[in-house]
Amino acid sequence: MDPEGSEISFRSQKLAPLLWKSGCLDFGEFTLTSGIKSPYYVDLRLLPSYPKLFDIAADMGADLVRKKDISFDVVSAVPTGGLPFGTLLANKLGAPLTYTRKRKKSHGEERQVEGKMEENDRVLVVDDIITTGGSVIEAVRSVRENGGKVDDVLVLLDRTEGGAENLREEDLNLNKVANIEPLVEELESREKISSEMVDKVKKYLDER
């Protein structure tokens, strides 16, 4: 395994019990927004309800930004799931926070990017989870259209279903705290889920 892969696996193992304790992961059969059947479901919106666990997860994100020496002036969160994570992360990094609207306001100053962002500011776009990357790419385009420069995206968890590849087509680097596969393997080692369930998740990912 390459060094970066080893580091992602290590972080995934550390994040796994946090997501399990906060109820962010469920296993069975779930219909996703796309209509696809998945053997697992992730809801990271539950994590902020557990302040100590959420704080540890945000520390992991901030440590990753520092370790990779990502250069940025502003953090921009992807609503709605990315807002809690982006807010805490920006606070830990001592950076201004912005967020993108899905639609430009029809009143006032008609902003699509809320918060203070100057022309040519380097922007780190943050979300909680990435699947195919559609919502992240939409947010990045909004930031770019409003004068920000985006090279890097940060997420807590990558479902590894094409998001990284789709971001590369937009000249974006995906930085992630964890991948789903080593995370579920860690849960198996802690006897939280069965080996059969891990096999189902791996088969699902292979098919995706």
* CATH number, position 76: 3.40.50.2020
Residue 15 lies in a domain: yes
Residue 138 lies in a domain: yes
The overall pTM is greater than 0.85: yes
Residue 208 lies in a domain: no
Residue 44 lies in a domain: yes
Which of the four pLDDT bands, split at 50, 70 and 90, describes residue 101?
Answer: confident
**Number of domains into which the chain is organized:** 1
Report how far residue 79's alpha carbon sits from residue 135's, in angstroms, rounded to the nearest whole number. 9
In the predicted model, what is the mean pLDDT of residues 5-29? Answer: 97
Tell me the residue range of the domain where 143 lies: 3-199
Give the model confidence (pLDDT) of 108-141 as tens digits: 445 689 999 999 999 999 999 999 999 999 999 9
Helix/strand/coil (H, E, C) string of the chain? CCHHHHHHHHHHHHHHHHHHHCCCEEEEEEECCCCCEEEEEECHHHHHHCHHHHHHHHHHHHHHHHHCCCCCCEEEECCCCHHHHHHHHHHHHCCCEEEECCCCCCCCCCCCEECCCCCCCEEEEEEEEECCCHHHHHHHHHHHHCCCEEEEEEEEEECCCCHHHHHHCCCCEEEEEEEHHHHHHHHHHCCCCCHHHHHHHHHHHHHC
In the predicted model, what is the mean pLDDT of residues 39-60? Answer: 98
Residue 37 lies in a domain: yes
Report how far residue 130's alpha carbon sits from residue 81's, in angstroms, rounded to the nearest whole number. 10
Q: Which of 123, 173, 171 is nearest to 147 (CA)?
A: 123
Residue 206 lies in a domain: no
Q: How many residues does the chain have?
A: 208
In the predicted model, what is the mean pLDDT of residues 164-187? Answer: 98
Residue 20 lies in a domain: yes
Burial 34-56 (b: 16+ CB within 10 A, else e): eeeebbbebebeebbebeebbee
